A = this chain, B = another copy of it.
Amino acid sequence: MQEHTPMRLTTQRQIILEELLKVTSHPTANEVYDMVRKRLPRIGLGTVYRNLELMAETGMILKLEVGGTQKRFDATIQPHYHVRCMECGKVDDIDIAVQQDINETAAQACHYQIIGHHIEFTGICSNCTQSDKTASIN
């Protein structure tokens, strides 16, 4: 059995992580690609996907499997919950207490070995509430 070689510290990885740390917007892989490309114009989208996936696996970042068509990534790794705007798809953190106890409750209600949970709220963000008002006037 072979010892696992540590992840190499490549320029691409550093910059992807740096860019992700700069924002609180839970960007999609493609948004990260756009951010990183400003500093590394020749980076490939595949590299971004591969590294985001790898960093999520090793726990450096969080992969958010929220609603919508794309996965999102988050450099804040402490457990926390999210709100997603049904109108524009924006995802924000929501600062309410994490319910550690709920996992055990769930474990007793099913035959799964429970590893964790995530709460996703859905709603309309303040920007979109505004636009809705404007739209209904017209």
Name A's B-contacting residues (CB within 8 A).
65-68, 81, 83, 85-86, 92, 94-96, 102-103, 105-107, 109-126, 129
**Can you list 10 pairs linking A and B with CB atoms under 8 Å apart?**
A83-B106, A96-B106, A110-B121, A112-B125, A112-B126, A113-B123, A117-B120, A117-B121, A118-B122, A120-B120
Option from B115, B122, B123 in Cβ contact (under 8 Å) with A122? B115
Option from B118, B122, B129 in Cβ contact (under 8 Å) with A119? B118
- Complex contacts, A116 vs chain B, CB 8 Å: 121-123
- Complex contacts, A83 vs chain B, CB 8 Å: 106, 110, 112, 114
A66 CB to closest chain B CB (Å) equals 7
A123's closest neighbor in chain B, by CB? B112
Q: Could you tell me if B95 and A109 are in contact, using CB atoms closer than 8 angstroms? A: yes
Q: Could you tell me if A119 and B121 are in contact, using CB atoms closer than 8 angstroms? A: no
Interchain CA distance A117-B113 in the complex, whole Å: 23
Interchain CA distance A117-B102 in the complex, whole Å: 15
- What 7 A-B pairs come out closest when comparing CB atoms? A65-B67, A112-B123, A114-B123, A111-B126, A117-B121, A113-B124, A106-B121
